[in-house]
Amino acid sequence: MNGRSIMKTCLLVVLGIIITCCVACLMFGLFNYLSTRNPKYGKDFNPEREKRGLPIIPENWELRDVFGNCITWGFPQFSPSEDPPYPRYSQKQIVIVDENTIEETDFYEGSRIVTTLVGDHLRDDLNIICTYHLDDVNDIKCEAYLSTGGYTIDKNREEAIAVLKEWGLSYP
């Protein structure tokens, strides 16, 4: 083999690697686009949420993530110079448990920030988790967790709604 054929072989190998990387990037981009373009149980499912007395996905919210059977919607992103409004309803996570069972977690953030003994700054937050079956509008079970000052307190749905009212937020 002479120097010219070695150089030609090296160029072909490098070109093959570049083409393989480009195809892989295109495939990843296509997969990502197809998996997030219109997830099931998104904004179109809001009338069903209203029937069950659950918070809807607001029109101005953005699809944040679709991963397997988990879909996350959230408050629009703020630029680093903006301070988001608090308290607020900030995110909804939807988990498709099986063909008939859905679990939705609604995340709320309070305006109070507590500094712990070790110097961490923690914002009060409240998560309400509701599990329901698609074939029965009345079959819904909810639990809630209030995190405040580094502690988590179990709450029932009524207690959680009372906390939201204290924060000036409403729950359907």
- pLDDT tens digits, 58-81: 999 999 988 889 999 998 877 667
Alpha helices in the chain (DSSP H): 3-36, 46-52, 157-166
Whole-number Å distance between alpha carbons of 46 and 56:
5
Q: Which two tokens stand for residue 110?
A: 């309070």
Over residues 94-119, mean pLDDT: 89
Q: Please, which pLDDT band fits residue 49 given cuts at 50, 70 and 90?
A: very high
Band the pLDDT of 30: cuts 50, 70, 90: very low
User: Could you tell me how far CA 121 lies from the centroid of its own chain?
Assistant: 23
How many C-alpha atoms does 145 have within 13 Å on its Cβ side? 10
Spatial contact of 83 and 97, defined as CB atoms under 8 Å apart: no
* Full-model pTM: 0.73
